[in-house]
Structure 1
Amino acid sequence: MNVRFTDEETEALRAQAVAEDRSMQDVARAAVREYVERHSHHDRVAEALAVLGPRNKDLLRRLGDA
């Protein structure tokens, strides 16, 4: 797999790698892992709310009124 970055993205990646004393590849891979984790967490929360929201609508309404 190849990823192409703009010149600005490459320079930002390079600067971050230097700041962390890591390779650009390590910083990029960590960024991808963080992105995937954050978005999968968001999806799990949305799924839970879709199930639990209707079940607990009266409780949620009372909490909102408090």
Structure 2
Amino acid sequence: MAMTLRLSDEQTEALRRRAEREGRSMQQVALHAIDDYLARVADDDLTESRHHPDRLVTGRSRL
């Protein structure tokens, strides 16, 4: 699925520098960051449900 992601000038430049340092495209760096974030919040949800089994954790309201 394609989408448009609007970044500030500062975010764009930081992403460009990171991608250049890593020898990857800006898209590859952004996708990796999103994957890392999603794995982290999934782990947070799992931890929360283990500590509070009476609560139903269904996800986050925003990315």
TM-score, structure 1 as length reference: 0.75
Gaps of 5+ in 2: 54-63
Q: Which ranges of 4 or more aligned residues in structure 1 deviate by more than 4 Å?
A: none
Higher alpha-carbon Rg:
1
- Shift in Å, 1:18: 0.5
C-alpha distance after superposition, 1:1-50 (max 9, x if no partner): 11000000000000000110000000000000000000110010000011
Cα distance in 2, alignment partners of residues 15 and 47 from structure 1? 38
Aligned residues: 51
Cα distance in 2, alignment partners of residues 9 and 40 from structure 1? 25
Gaps of 5+ in 1: 52-66
For residue 41 of structure 1, what is the aligned residue in structure 2? 43
CA RMSD of aligned residues (A): 0.5
TM-score, structure 2 as length reference: 0.78
Which structure would you say has the larger RCO, counting Cα contacts within 8 Å and 6 or more residues apart?
A: 2
